[in-house]
Amino acid sequence: MPSLSGNSTNGTPNWDKYVVNNNYTQVTYTIETQALFFKQVSNTKIDHVHDQLFPGTKLTILSPRTVKISASRDTGVISRITSKPAASVQIGNKKGYVLINKIRKPTKAPDSVEKRTISMAQTDLDNLKSKAGVGKKRVSGIDIEVDGFGLITDVATVEKVPERVNGREAKADIVLKNSKGTRLIYISHKAAGGAKAFQQYGGISETAGTKEMPALVYTNPEVQKFLNDLYSLYQSSLDGTGNNMNPFEKGKLKEARLYRPVTDTQLINQSVFGPGFGGPSGIDNVDVIAQGPFIFKSVMNPYGDIVITLSWDHFDYRGGNINEFNSGQYQALLVSRSASDRRTKTPQGDIPGVRTGIFNRSYLSGQSMPIDAAL
């Protein structure tokens, strides 16, 4: 689990994403690895330490600004700390400082955005139901024309999808239900902000597939080739047989990103819409991928009738044109990057310290390298 000291997938510091921009006073944070709870900024003796903290300890962050702290070995630290970023925190009735690399980042910081989106969408829907004369209760619904998808009848609620598949989150984040609670349309939702807000489409591990076929994505020939090529480079860096273009050095990935465009249309669809693509609509085969708030509008159709439409800042629907996932910033890529807390499983063995998945092109940094340039 990455800490508050790292960066998110789009390069934003975790501290900014999960503290500064995340209503930090309402979030309970957790100690990730064993840490010391310091009383002050400069610490030179054991009396300057409140307590030793163990993984799972809950804390509250008191300020959106980090401070630089120092500590000598006399405080009990294994090695001297010099001007390391720390958070001002409270644990119980004690206040002090904890290094931010010891604090776990919240696992669902985007939840706050998702909850606001669902709440706002439900409020807008309720207002439309009220204007239509059916009332705001969950047992009443209205017909809505979803751009690019079609007419959906009796839409009553906007709800979060709670299920998990193979231990991971389902592809669908949000579902529209009718007045009887029946699910009508499944939506994979991200915040507005273009390709950078979307970034990862899906994983490639042995559990990234469907409930019935967990290894469906992992065993895809294109994924297998990328993993085998990745392992070949990794292994050659260990035995000294690699060329000077090898992005690995003694088993460590040097390049910021190592990538290859995805060309298999089925794999693109499975990563974007869910591994269940090709089957019935559901939590792992979404109908729409959407970014930004739910935009409801009342418009007059060619027949003079008032119709409620639904759209988003950016959206694609299953079965539509997927050309944008073949080029530009939304292009689907197999990508590996350095990540000390991850490992990539390949047919030939595990590669420690590397994370691999299917991302879009905006995920790449200036030091990214096409994997084929190193082979």
Give yes or no: residues 57 and 78 share one domain: yes
Structure tokens at 325: 């996932």
Name the β-bridge partners of 95. Answer: 90
- Please write the tens of the pLDDT for every residue from 332-350: 999 999 877 689 999 999 9
Tokens 């958070």 sit on residue: 87
Instruction: Tell me whether residue 207 is in a domain.
Output: yes
Q: Are 256 and 217 contained in the same domain?
A: yes
| b/e code 244-263 from CB counts within 10 Å (16+ = b) | eebbbeeeebebebbbbebe
Asked if the structure places residue 61 within a domain, the reply is yes
Both 139 and 165 in one domain: the answer is yes
What is the SS3 assignment for 266-305?
HHHHHHHHCCCCCCCCECCECCEEEECCCEEEEEECCCCC
Q: Would residue 3 count as lying in a domain?
A: no
Confidence of residue 151 (pLDDT cuts 50, 70, 90): very high
Q: Residue 33, SS3?
A: coil
Q: Are residues 28 and 89 in the same domain?
A: yes
Candidates 145, 103, 148, 141; CA nearest to 122 is 141
CATH number of the domain residue 19 falls in: 2.30.30
The percentage of residues in the chain with a pLDDT greater than 70, rounded to a whole number, is 97
Is pLDDT of 31 > 60?
A: yes
**8 found inside a domain:** no
Cα–Cα distance list, 88 to 80, 103, 168, 321 (Å): 20, 12, 33, 50
> Is the same domain home to 174 and 99?
no
Return the higher-pLDDT residue of 301 and 354: 354
Verify that 231 and 348 share a domain, yes or no: yes
Number of domains into which the chain is organized:
3
The whole-number pLDDT of residue 25 equals 81
Confidence of residue 107 (pLDDT cuts 50, 70, 90): low
Distance CA 176, CA 194 (A): 24
133 and 100 in a common domain = no
Shared domain for 31 and 139, answered yes or no, is no
Among 80, 104, 128, the domain-final residue is 104
Q: Assess if residue 68 is contained within a domain.
A: yes
Residue 324 and residue 158 in contact, taking contact as beta carbons nearer than 8 Å: no
Residue 260 has pLDDT above 70, yes or no: yes
DSSP per-residue string spanning 106-163: PTTTTHHHHHHHHHHHHHHHHHHHHHTTS-SSTT--EEEEETTTEEEEEEEEEEE---
**Domain match, 162 and 20 both:** no
Q: Which two tokens stand for residue 296?
A: 């409801």
- Identify the pLDDT of residue 273: 96
Task: Give the least confident one: 57-61, 105-109, 119-123, 243-247.
Answer: 105-109
Quick one: 27 and 164 in the same domain?
no
Has residue 9 been placed in a domain? no
Cα angle 186, 160, 286; round to 5: 15
Whole-Å CA distances, 141 to 17, 122, 307, 361: 37, 12, 14, 40
Answer whether residue 4 is part of any domain: no
Q: What pLDDT, on the 0 to 100 scale, is given for residue 311? A: 94
Note the pLDDT of residue 135: 83
> Token digits for 180?
């009887």
User: Are 175 and 242 in a shared domain?
Assistant: no
Q: Give the range of the structural domain holding residue 205, as residue numbers without chain letter.
A: 201-265+328-373
**What is the pLDDT at residue 9?**
61
pLDDT value at 10 more than 70: no
pLDDT in tens, 183-242: 999 999 988 878 877 778 999 999 999 999 999 999 999 999 999 999 999 999 999 887
- Asked if pLDDT for residue 318 goes beyond 80, the answer is yes
Secondary structure letter of residue 375 according to DSSP: -
Please tell me the distance from the alpha carbon of residue 312 to that of residue 209, in angstroms, as a whole number: 28
User: Is there a domain that residue 273 lies in?
Assistant: no
Please indicate, yes or no, whether residues 249 and 285 belong to a single structural domain of this protein. no
